[in-house]
Structure 1
Amino acid sequence: MTIERIPLPGVGVCHAITTRAHQRLGVIAHTTGQRDIVLYDPNDPDRAACTLPLEPDEARWIADLLNTTVTVDHLADPEQHLTGITAARIRLPAGSHYDGRSLAATSPGTGASIIAVIRGQQVITAPHPDFVLHHDDTLVAIGDHHGITALTDMLTNTAPDTPANH
């Protein structure tokens, strides 16, 4: 599937796709943070048939509903030239077993370390072990590929803690 990125001067940007059923839809990301879901007219793919404005929290809820895969964004970082070291952003999903738990609870030997937490517009660097995580937090972690994968799996697991989940 191809995602088109269409700049909208003075408004923001539209990301548009055409589904396999030939329905065109888009998400407009306004510079204000608002998001609009746009369904286009099947007979005129450049004309909006329906627009659904969403507040930022509503957009996150919809994204949680649609997101069945875990996305790890790898960061461009000057330290990445070290062999085997990577930095990644991991979003804590709603329903994560770690939502409402302290950062110390994430420490079981994954081989990766959380070095910052992004909460809304705030960046908390070097968070203390008693820092409490919330869904929609974005955790910035460093480690090797296996450590980042293990940490991502652990944080995005929505099953209760059991020995098999560690």
Structure 2
Amino acid sequence: MALPYDYVRTPNDKNVQFTIQNVGIKDAKGKVKVSVDGEQKVEVDLSVKAQEIKNLTASNVLDGLAAGKHTVTVTIESDDDNMPDNNVMSKEVNVLGAPVVYYDFEDGKISSDLSFYVGDSGTVNANAGDEFNKEGWGIFNIEKHAMLGEHVLAGTSRIDGATRRRLLR
């Protein structure tokens, strides 16, 4: 199963992607069923030629799932199949709850309402480099990551040593 990943971000990740393969020497017909937590979400007719590999997507299967763990199952049913013991694939996924604040940096821009909170003598490091704006934020392009995208937010600051030592208890 190519999608979903182990962690599902709502509302972005809704689809289930998987690959099926007919390893037989005859064409086969059947059904593909996709379920979440035992509840069938999709059923489609399937036709696969001998030795054919198909990449399939079941759209919006994960839409509206509550935060927490869920089991996604893909089942192939075919009377033409001589090896039915390899026709079920399951994966446990963790649906992340909706974030309180969500910023999407894939356009390479920083939202105007994103700012540092300075509660002591910490200041934005003016010598951090041209990559950072005057508020201390910078967007960096990284190699494309399947879940995180291709941009990452970075912040810079410095502490001048005037702040009392803080202990975590």
TM-score strictly above 0.5: no
The higher-RCO structure (CA 8 Å, 6+ apart) is 2
- Structure-2-length-normalised TM-score: 0.26
- Structure-1-length-normalised TM-score: 0.26
